[in-house]
Chains A and B, each alone.
Chain A
């Protein structure tokens, strides 16, 4: 089955700096890669996603890049703000009848003033 590894587990940046979170996946058949943000006491919120036919996608301060050959994808947050502080999860969806998401173990991002 699919295995997703995520690094780093914790990340502290100063407000205004950029943050990068990286994930690798094992199943070359995976074709959908979402990123979720989870704030304390809340469910994961989808913030951006990318499909395997695209190499990069941007949405304001957030961007995701995908390298299918290397089987890794990354989340980039620019001009970080205190409200970006949360736990971020990457995920991958293997093709097949289930299309269930396999999640990374999460990155706790702390944006300091």
Chain B
């Protein structure tokens, strides 16, 4: 596609439920990143994919968070047993390759845990 696409754009879930957030990167981009942006805050790195593997998962806050990428394209971020502190905008970005090349962001998924 023309840009990074994320779905859903908004998600409201009850505390304790699992959620899946989807990212479709720009076609041909091998690197994919997930970031989290809490209200009024900067962007917090979560995980980075190169192809289907994740060389850096250092930003995942807890073992409730996991992500996968299949076919070197679509990525899914899963949050299990959601907590209220998980409420944030989850942003996905992709780049042609990871070595300092420009990263382009999607519009984000706003997650609200009630």
Q: Could you list which residues of chain A lie within 8 angstroms of chain B, going by C-beta atoms?
A: 31-32, 34, 36, 41-46, 49, 51, 89, 91, 93, 97-106
A-B contact count (CB 8 A): 60
Question: For residue A44, which residues in chain B have a CB less than 8 angstroms away from its CB?
Answer: 43, 91, 105
Q: Provide 24 A-B residue pairs closer than 8 Å at the C-beta atoms, listed in order of the A residue.
A: A31-B100, A32-B100, A34-B102, A36-B105, A42-B107, A43-B4, A43-B106, A43-B107, A44-B43, A44-B105, A46-B103, A51-B100, A89-B43, A91-B43, A97-B56, A98-B48, A98-B98, A99-B31, A99-B48, A99-B98, A102-B45, A103-B35, A103-B42, A104-B42
The CA-CA distance from A43 to B104 in the complex, in Å, is 9
B99 within 8 A of A: yes
B25 within 8 A of A: no
- Contact code string B88-109 (vs A, CB < 8 Å = 1, else 0): 0001000000111011111110
Whether B41 pairs with A105 at a CB distance below 8 angstroms is: yes
Whether A89 pairs with B42 at a CB distance below 8 angstroms is: yes
CB within 8 Å of A: which B36-79 residues: 41-43, 45, 48, 55-56, 58-59
